[in-house]
Amino acid sequence: MGAKPKRHFRTPATAPGPTGGEMLRSFNQIRTDALGFLEWSWRTYGDVVQFPIPTPPTYLVTHPEGVRRVLQANHRGYGKATIQYRNLALVTGEGLLAADTDAWRRQRKSLQPAFHPRAVVAVADHAAEASLRLADDWRALGDGAVVDVEEAMMRTALEIVGAALFGADLRDDAAELVTATQAGLSAVVARTRNPLAPPLSVPTPGNLRLRRALARLNRAVAEIVAVRRSAASADEPRDMLDVLLADGSMSSAELRDQIVTFIVAGHETVASSLTWAWYLLGSHPEVAQAVAAEADAVLGERVQARFDDLPALGRAAAVFDESLRLFPPGWLISRNALQDDEVMGHHIPAGALVLISPYLVHRHPAADPGELRFDPDRFLNGPPSPVAGTYIPFGAGPRLCIGRDMARAEGTIVIAMLARSFRLTPLPGHAVMANPMVMLKPKGGLPMRLSTRIDSSTRTPRPD
C-alpha cells in the first residue's frame, strides 16, 4: 500500500491507484461486484486511491480522516451533482436525497419540522403494529416454513413509512410498490454501470421497465395526496405530508419528488438493515436468545412494544447498529469537488468525483480493530458520534440522514418484537452474498427457516 502515484492517464496522478491495464482486466468485476473491486483497490493502493479515468478525475477515500475532510470539515467544497445521484433522480426526482447544495439546504429546512420527537413516537407505534401483523402472517405459515426475510422486511418497512410519514395505509399496495421500487432502482444501477445508457425516451427494455415503475410510484403519490386533501385539515402538522402540503411554495413536481424520495429511501434503507440483522442473528443464535430474553423482560405480558420501551431495549438497538456497521445499506457515497482541495496530502482537483464507501470505512483499522466480528456489545451504550468519521451508516456532517432517529426506533422495535416470538435459521448450503445495488442487499433474497418461540395465545416461551 502507499505506492507512488503513476502518470499513466491524461489527468495528472495525485494519488496511487490501479493502472489502465488493471482496470481493463477488472472490467467484469467492476460491473458485477463493484464493492469487491473498491475493496481490492483500497487494500492494494491505500487510503486515497485515484482511478485511471480521464474525466472526471475519480478518487476513493477510505481513511476516516479523509472522510471527515470531505463530508464534514470541508463539506461546502463538495456537492452531489454526480452520475450516481443524477441516475437516482430519474426515480426520486430532485427530492432531499438527490438535491444538491442550495436546493438541499432549502428542502432540509422545510422538512425538518416533520422529524420532531413526536414523529419518532409515531414511528415506534406503527413499527409495533406492523410487527404484529407480520407475526400473525408468519404464525399462519407454521413451524419449519421457509420465508424470504428480505421480502418481508421490505413489505413491513413500506407499511411503516406509509403510515408514519404520510398517514397512508399501503398494506394492500405493498407488494406492488415494492416491485415498482425494485424495478426502478435496478434500472438506476444498470444506467450507472453503463456510461452509454440511452436517454429515457428511447424504448429499450430497461427504459420501459423504468417507465412502468415510475408510473406506479406516481399513481401512489397521487392517491396519497388526494386522500389527505379530501380529509379535514389538522390544527397542527401530524406528519411529513402535512408539512409538505402546508408549504405554499412547493410545486406539484416538487411535492411528488419528496414523497417518492421518502417512499423509496424511507423503506429501502431500514428494510436492508433489518434483513442483514436477521442474517446475523440467525448466524449467532446466542445473541438472538439474548435479544429475545431482553424483550421478554421489558414487555412482560404485553404483546406490543412502545416508544417508552426503547431505552430498555438496548440489545435490540445494538443489533440494529451493529448490522449497520457490517452491512450499511448506503454502501457508496459520491461527491463532486466544487473547488480544489487536499485530502490526506493528496490534491483533489475541482470537478473530481470522490467516492466514499461506508462499508469499507467501517472495516478500516482506524475505525475498529474488530473489523468483521459481529459484536453488538460495542453499541450497548449507543452508537458512537458520527463526528469521528468511523461509523457513517447515515452519512456525516450537515447531510446526516434526517430520518436517523426514526430508523433506529423502527429497527429496534421490529427486532425486539419478532426476535421475541420467532427464531430464524439460515438454510444449510445457501450462500449469502452482499449485492451492491443502490442499497446493499443479499443476492437473491434471504430465505430462512421459521420456528415459533412464543405461543401466540398464551405468550408462553417455548424451550430453546
Could you tell me the domains of the chain? Answer: 56-452 (1.10.630.10)
pLDDT score, position 459: 54
229-243, 289-303, 422-436: the lowest-pLDDT one: 229-243
Query: For residues 232 and 95, which has the higher predicted lDDT (pLDDT)?
Result: 95
pLDDT score, position 237: 64
pLDDT score, position 388: 75
Q: State yes or no: pLDDT of 356 exceeds 90.
A: yes
106-110, 272-276, 456-460: the lowest-pLDDT one: 456-460
Instruction: Compute the average pLDDT of residues 443-458.
Output: 81
| Cell numbers linked to 4 | 507512488
pLDDT score, position 432: 95
Q: State yes or no: pLDDT of 460 exceeds 80.
A: no
Q: pLDDT digits over 370-387, tens only?
A: 778 999 999 998 777 666
pLDDT score, position 191: 86
- Residue 196: pLDDT band with limits 50, 70, 90: confident
pLDDT score, position 190: 86
User: In three state form, how does the secondary structure of the chain look?
Assistant: CCCCCCCCCCCCCCCCCCCHHHHHHCHHHHHHCHHHHHHHHHHHHCCEEEECCCCCCEEEECCHHHHHHHHHHCHHHEECCCHHHHHHHHHHCCCCCCCCHHHHHHHHHHHHHHHCHHHHHHHHHHHHHHHHHHHHHHHHHCCCCEEEHHHHHHHHHHHHHHHHHHCCCCCCCHHHHHHHHHHHHHHHHHHHHCCCCCCCCCCCHHHHHHHHHHHHHHHHHHHHHHHHHHCCCCCCCCCHHHHHHHCCCCCHHHHHHHHHHHHHHHHHHHHHHHHHHHHHHHHCHHHHHHHHHHHHHHHCCCCCCCHHHHHHCHHHHHHHHHHHHHCCCCCCEEEEECCCEEECCEEECCCCEEEECHHHHCCCCCCCCCCCCCCHHHHCCCCCCHHHCCCCECECHHHCCCCHHHHHHHHHHHHHHHHHHEEEEECCCCCCCEEECCCEEECCCCEEEEEECECCCCCCECCC
pLDDT score, position 197: 83
Q: pLDDT digits over 48-104, tens only?
A: 999 998 889 999 999 999 999 999 999 999 999 999 999 999 999 999 999 988 889
pLDDT score, position 387: 63
Q: State yes or no: pLDDT of 122 exceeds 90.
A: yes
pLDDT score, position 206: 86
pLDDT score, position 100: 87
What's the whole-number average pLDDT of the chain?
91
pLDDT score, position 440: 96
36-40, 337-341, 427-431: the lowest-pLDDT one: 427-431
pLDDT score, position 456: 42
Please report, as a single letter, which amino acid is at residue 242. Answer: D
Q: pLDDT digits over 129-173, tens only?
A: 999 999 999 999 999 999 999 999 999 999 999 999 999 999 999
pLDDT score, position 124: 97
pLDDT score, position 463: 46
Cβ atoms of 245 and 237 closer than 8 Å: no
Query: For residues 386 and 360, which has the higher predicted lDDT (pLDDT)?
Result: 360
